[in-house]
Amino acid sequence: MESESPTPDLHDPRDRRLPHMAPPCGLVLFGITGDLARKKLLPAIYDLTNRGLLSPAFALTGFARRDWDREDFEEFVRSSIENYSRTDFNERTWQQLASGLRFVSGSFDDPDAYKRLAETVAELDQSRGTGGNHAFYLSIPPRWFPVVCQNLADNGLNQREGNAWRRVIIEKPFGQDLASARELSDVVGKAFDESDVFRIDHYLGKETVQNILAIRFANTMFEPLWKANYVDHVQITMAEEIGIGTRAGYYDGIGAARDVIQNHLLQLLALTAMEEPVRFTPESLRAEKEKILSALRLPEDLASTTAHGQYAAGWQGGAEVKGFLDEDGIPAESHTETYAALKLFVDTRRWAGVPFYLRTGKRLGKRVTEIAVVFKRAAHVPFENSDVAESGQNVLVIRVQPDEGMTIKFGAKVPGTEMQVRDVTMDFNYGHAFTEDSPEAYERLILDALVGSAPLFPHQREVELSWQILDPVLRYWAERSAPEPYKPGSWGPDSAHDMLARDGRTWRIP
Ligand code: BG6
């Protein structure tokens, strides 16, 4: 990946003069009838086709238990595209995509279905020109991974020929803890090389997340301040207004920490804290992220430095909402947390002593994801009667979503005869600065997987290091305490506020 190519190759992600475009290939989607496929994956594939980023030879095969023929499948794909795509429906694009649709009916453990899949893949190579390049997207519960991988291998579907490739794309959760993450990885590793495994953390596909790297490493003005000498603490928040909806089957027993902190928030932390990578290659990027993840340390006293909660019944946005324990499919005695917060330290010279506070939750005050770097107060302020002591803490906020952009908070003089200083903000807004819309995270990640570009996919070592951090917290919660109820529309349980108050700080209200 790292050497210079003498001649431009249309499918070579290194050549920035050419569009990042997928070569002729096929994608087999397991879990096609699931919510994720319907609302995100199929629309993303359509949007990529509409933007000319997939080859005309691209083929999409659905694999599911439904007793569908090709027409039923076509109708299902079309309706998902019409309902959820980002770009307008275009009949020509649809015809191009529809001509490459195939459907294989069967359960995940039916060996005959995989024989039919192998025939379909061979037929696509012949009729459509997919050239032996195929990716298998497992948007299915991880308990099925061993069975699917084994059957793919038994039918030679993991075997590449010549320069062709075979890849597997997997969705989280990558296990429930460190031990199960390793087992899962061993299972996938029996059928596919690590370099052919693409683990999706969809936060890494978000433009604003990639912008963390641009802000830090394409400028000179931020990096000198990005260290313990100037930074007081960092807050990383991923808050949602929604409850668990119809996802009880997935969510119960998983909870907020496994669902969001293990992957999205620890990845955001790693990008915020890491050193500059030597190059923008998977190896360099992963090496720097891994160093940070290995340098993470939990405080000893988990009782006062972590918090977990469960949303109670109440009112949110003018509507009455159910409590977590009343949601369909959730056992009345469930201890699954819907809110989780942690304090972590990064034991490196750059970050010594700087707390990183992470929090995530459902049914909170607002849907917002942000990284707030809160700077130390000025050591001395020479203006008497100023309000600086009350405010006066510079903050740089990377707004991941919604309202993507960045805000800098700093003190400015209040107009008038007195020397009064108040906090003001300066905003960069993606929507105002650029005419192009940001692509959906899944568009970027599906395209990258088909192109074979791995920087935005976490390596197994990152997954394991993240579990290593989380395991003691999950064990502690399981052994000691039930999650504390919190009101819908609030900013989480009291224990989360107490956790920061003990450090003389408060959570930001975004
Ligand atoms: C997923 C979690 O990874 O991210 C969900 O499993 C969560 O629980 C979702 O709702 C949020 O994604 P986004 O892109 O809307 O922030």
- Given a cut of 60, is residue 6 above it in pLDDT? no
Nearest CA to ligand 1 atom 15: 240
Q: Which CATH number does the domain 26-171 belong to among 1.10.1200.10, 3.40.50.720, 3.30.70.260, 2.60.40.10?
A: 3.40.50.720
Nearest CA to ligand 1 atom 4: 260
pLDDT in tens, 465-502: 999 999 999 999 999 879 999 999 999 999 999 999 99
Lowest mean pLDDT among 77-81, 129-133, 269-273, 428-432: 428-432
Residues 41/47/50/55 CA torsion (nearest 10 deg): -40
Q: Do the domains at 26-171 and 204-501 have one common CATH topology?
A: no
Domain 204-501 has CATH 2.60.40.10: no
pLDDT on residue 455: 87
Query: How many CB atoms sit inside 10 A of residue 303's CB?
Result: 12
Nearest CA to ligand 1 atom 11: 240
In the predicted model, what is the mean pLDDT of residues 60-68? Answer: 94
pTM: 0.91
- What is the 445 CA–ligand 1 centroid distance (Å)? 15
Probe ligand 1: pick from 201, 260, 440, max atoms within 8 Å of CB?
Answer: 260
pLDDT on residue 387: 57
- Main-chain phi, psi angles of 224, to 5 degrees: -60, -25
Nearest CA to ligand 1 atom 13: 203
Q: Output DSSP code: residue 221.
A: S
Task: Determine the length of the chain.
Answer: 510
pLDDT in tens, 257-316: 999 999 999 999 999 999 999 988 888 999 999 999 999 999 999 999 999 999 999 999
- What is the 264 CA–ligand 1 centroid distance (Å)? 9
Q: Determine the atom of ligand 1 nearest the C-alpha atom of 401.
A: 16
pLDDT in tens, 309-349: 999 999 998 999 999 999 999 999 999 999 999 999 999 99
Instruction: Write out residues with Cβ below 6 Å of ligand 1.
Output: 202, 240, 259, 369
- What is the 29 CA–ligand 1 centroid distance (Å)? 20
69 in helix, strand or coil? coil
- What is the 9 CA–ligand 1 centroid distance (Å)? 36
How far is CA 178 from its chain centroid? 19
Q: Determine the atom of ligand 1 nearest the C-alpha atom of 206.
A: 14
Residues 152/156/161/166 CA torsion (nearest 10 deg): 0
- What is the 265 CA–ligand 1 centroid distance (Å)? 11
- What is the 146 CA–ligand 1 centroid distance (Å)? 25
Q: Determine the atom of ligand 1 nearest the C-alpha atom of 441.
A: 14
Q: Output DSSP code: residue 222.
A: S
Query: How many CB atoms sit inside 10 A of residue 23's CB?
Result: 20
Q: Are 458 and 204 in contact (CB under 8 A)?
A: yes
**Catalytic site includes residue 264:** yes
The catalytically annotated residue of 202, 264, 308, 459 is: 264
Nearest CA to ligand 1 atom 5: 259
Probe ligand 1: pick from 40, 176, 202, max atoms within 8 Å of CB?
Answer: 202
Q: Determine the atom of ligand 1 nearest the C-alpha atom of 244.
A: 8
Taking the C-alpha atoms of residue 100 and residue 257, their distance in angstroms, rounded to an integer, is 39
Probe ligand 1: pick from 206, 240, 246, 444, max atoms within 8 Å of CB?
Answer: 240
How far is CA 18 from its chain centroid? 27
Domain boundaries defined on the chain: 26-171, 204-501
Nearest CA to ligand 1 atom 9: 260
- What is the 238 CA–ligand 1 centroid distance (Å)? 9
